[in-house]
Amino acid sequence: MSTNFDPMPRWRAEFPIYATGLILLGICILVLAVRGIYPNIEWVSLNARLFGICLMLGICIDAAFQIFGVRPVSPIAHFRRRYFSSEAGKRILAGLPLLAVCVVLLPFFSKMKAAIRLFNDFTWDQTIIEWDRAIFFGHDAWQVLQPVLGYPYVTAGLSVLYQTWLLLLYFGCLFMIYAEIDSRLRRQFFLTYVLSWTVIGAAMATMLASVGPCFVNPLIGLHDFDEQMAYLHRVDEIVPVMVLPVQEMLLKWHSANVNGLGSGITAMPSMHVAIAYLFWLAMRRISKPAGIFFGAYFAIIWIGSVHLAYHYAVDGLVSVIAVTVLWRVSGWVMQAWDQRLARNNQATFRTNTVPAE
């Protein structure tokens, strides 16, 4: 391990992410303030604690791998170098700005998500339902999937896997912050991550305000998905369907105007699909097995979002298209930023090497 690690070059390289995050955060605060909603440090603090817990668990998992996988001759000396050396401290310090972005981002997205109805009415469900039926030849997407997935234990299994998506937001982001991966890939990932939550999860969700199949009856009065919800509740009597209590909690929070971490109802586009797809885009460049795993996970999340009545199929399709665009834009931005840094470094080098007269 190098002994002269300097976090400053990484911070300079990641500056577009910090700047974009701050600008979008400022816009978010101003937009919410217009409707009388102001920043609440409590939810940021809660999210920071969640990241801290996940970081400690991650270190425990890594320590177990070091013991049983690496098998150092002297575990204590190995752990001292890996976790408590000045080098390790500098590496942790280098990742703190990105960690801060992740900590602050989710609470403000939750506030924006909960405030959608203050800016736009939920009027898009019927249109999106018709889009789905146009794609699936007059059928709803869940009906097409039902012959394959419509078994209690399959549904319950998908429900469990769907809930594991939260691990991407914590363990997944911590991995992308601190793992020894290509710098450009890391930066492209996080710029896309920040833009996805704000452009897709806030702006597009507000413009295309919809509630999704599980909420379309209680909130909109449409009965198109009563049969699907009845099926999920029948399965729940046989084996627990983990998403049903979450859906009931979200509906309760919506009725009580709660705007905290994890609250809010929106269907189009799907952030579950967007983030799962983003991780696949990144992980496939890290290793082929990781790409296969996260590709399968992305497919499960998209299919599960439809089968479990959270989303219409088109919600995921729009998310994939939007993330693809943001991924490419982020790549161009980071490439342009690297070229600018290279020009500045060359100019500084020439200045420092000009002989004095």
Half-sphere exposure at residue 224, Cβ-oriented, CA atoms within 13 angstroms: 23
Work out the number of other CB atoms within 10 angstroms of the CB of residue 218. 14
Query: pLDDT digits over 159-169, tens only?
Result: 999 999 999 99
Cα 8 versus chain centre, distance = 26
Query: pLDDT digits over 298-329, tens only?
Result: 999 999 999 999 999 999 999 999 999 999 99
CB environment 49-66: b (16+ within 10 A), e (fewer): ebbeebbeeeeeebeeeb
Query: pLDDT digits over 188-206, tens only?
Result: 999 999 999 999 998 999 9
pLDDT at 179 exceeding the cut of 60:
yes
The least confident of 77-81, 118-122, 252-256, 278-282 is: 252-256
Query: pLDDT digits over 231-260, tens only?
Result: 999 999 999 999 999 999 988 888 876 655
Which residues are CB-neighbours of 276 under 8 A, at least 6 positions away? 165, 168, 294, 297, 298, 301, 302
pLDDT at 105 exceeding the cut of 70:
yes
Contact in structure between 291 and 265 (CB atoms under 8 Å): no
Contact in structure between 106 and 47 (CB atoms under 8 Å): yes
Query: pLDDT digits over 27-45, tens only?
Result: 888 888 887 877 778 888 9
Instruction: Give residue 292's pLDDT band: very low, low, confident or very high (50, 70, 90).
Output: very high
Structure-model confidence comparison of residues 298 and 264, the more confident one: 298
DSSP state of 201: I
Provide the pLDDT for residue 1: 42
- Of 175, 182, 173, 7, whose CA–CA distance to 86 is shortest? 7
